[in-house]
Chains A and B, each alone.
Chain A
Amino acid sequence: QQQVKQSPQSLIVQKGGISIINCAYENTAFDYFPWYQQFPGKGPALLIAIRPDVSEKKEGRFTISFNKSAKQFSLHIMDSQPGDSATYFCAALRHNTDKLIFGTGTRLQVFP
């Protein structure tokens, strides 16, 4: 119940296309869902985050879609660029706790 399932494991997208990464959870006590971007040899960087009281959040080319009833959330990267090539991790935080539960990661490659 503490798991966050992430798919796909890897994703190849052409430049200008849309990258979609999906995550699912079981624990309804999760109330904060961030996405992190990690380049090789670097630490994860916070990309965008959402709370379950909204169904969508957009920041530039990055959008989180959240489906509370299905317990699923996804990251959409519009107009994907080669510079977006990285590993993306979804995560979840349970209410009144401080431990992030990470997904398994998705390696995104954007080809020109």
Chain B
Amino acid sequence: GAVVSQHPSWVICKSGTSVKIECRSLDFQATTMFWYRQFPKQSLMLMATSNEGSKATYEQGVEKDKFLINHASLTLSTLTVTSAHPEDSSFYICSASLREGQTDTQYFGPGTRLTVL
């Protein structure tokens, strides 16, 4: 159980275009989903926390107008990178939170590799 999917797994786009990444919890409902960014050989950097039906909470330094997050249902959150530029190229990973006993365990998706030309 506790499977999280992401789509697409990779995407290449031209500079200035927008890209949407979907994150789904397949076998559980997640009230909270998270979006991370990871550069090569580095740790995960939290971008934002997304709660179903409410606005996302962005981490300091993350542009909310550039990285639009929508959490439309308990199983789906989307991240849209607007007007993408080469510096936005990265590995984007979502996670979904599942309540297990006393703990909200985060289960991660397989990631989306974004390359902006």
**Which residues of B, 87-105, contact A by the 8 Å Cβ criterion?**
91, 93, 95, 97, 102-105
* Cβ A98 vs Cβ B104 within 8 A: yes
From the candidates A34, A41, A49, A103, name the one contacting B111 in the complex (CB within 8 A). A41
* Cβ A104 vs Cβ B110 within 8 A: no
Considering only CB atoms, which chain B residue lies closest to A32 in the complex? B103
Interface range on chain A: under 10, 10 to 19, 20 to 34, or 35 or more? 20 to 34
Show the binding face of A for B, using Cβ within 8 Å.
32, 34, 36, 41-46, 49, 51, 89, 93, 98-100, 102-105, 107
Contacts of B41 in A (CB 8 A): 105, 107
Contacts of A98 in B (CB 8 A): 32, 34, 49, 97, 104, 106
Considering only CB atoms, which chain A residue lies closest to B31 in the complex? A98
From the candidates A43, A49, A99, A102, name the one contacting B110 in the complex (CB within 8 A). A43
* Cβ B108 vs Cβ A45 within 8 A: yes
From the candidates B34, B105, B109, B110, name the one contacting A34 in the complex (CB within 8 A). B105
Main secondary structure of the interface of B (DSSP, over half): strand
Contacts of B95 in A (CB 8 A): 43
Show the binding face of B for A, using Cβ within 8 Å.
4, 6, 32, 34, 41-44, 46, 49, 91, 93, 95, 97, 102-111, 113
CB distance from A102 to the nearest CB of B (A): 5
Distance A49 CA – B97 CA, assembled complex (angstroms): 15
**Cross-chain pairs A/B with CB under 8 angstroms, 16 sampled:** A41-B111, A41-B113, A43-B95, A43-B108, A44-B108, A46-B106, A46-B107, A46-B108, A89-B43, A89-B44, A98-B34, A98-B97, A99-B49, A100-B46, A100-B106, A105-B41
